[in-house]
Amino acid sequence: MRSTLLLSFLITLSACTADYDEVNIRLTMDERARMDELVVAYMDSLRPVQDSLCRVNFDDRVAVATDSIVQRLLEEEARLRARIPQIMRNDR
């Protein structure tokens, strides 16, 4: 019972994270039905924990995503600026 609750908690926690390794867990239909029952039963207690974890990590995740987007834009700009001399030579 506790291991199933822990597994459902980890699954819900993984929904909040952006960077995680893909976990491939194969469950039988009976195990899926039981997991669904447990998640529904414990969702009221899991939701506040998940929400608080998301709130705690939100600012850091936004900062990382913003830095990543800015970095990609700067790299694209550098590639485009590097092509300007080639374009100027071809136009002459």
Task: Determine the Cα–Cα distance for residues 67 and 75; give it in Å rounded to an integer.
Answer: 12
Residue with tokens 């700009």: 77
Classified as helix, coil or strand, 25 is coil
**Helix crossing, 2-16 with 29-91: angle to 10°?**
20
pLDDT digits (tens, 9 = 90+) for 14-52: 655 555 567 788 889 999 999 889 888 888 888 888 889
Query: Are the CB atoms for 28 and 66 separated by under 8 Å?
Result: no
Classified as helix, coil or strand, 23 is coil
Mean pLDDT value across the chain: 82
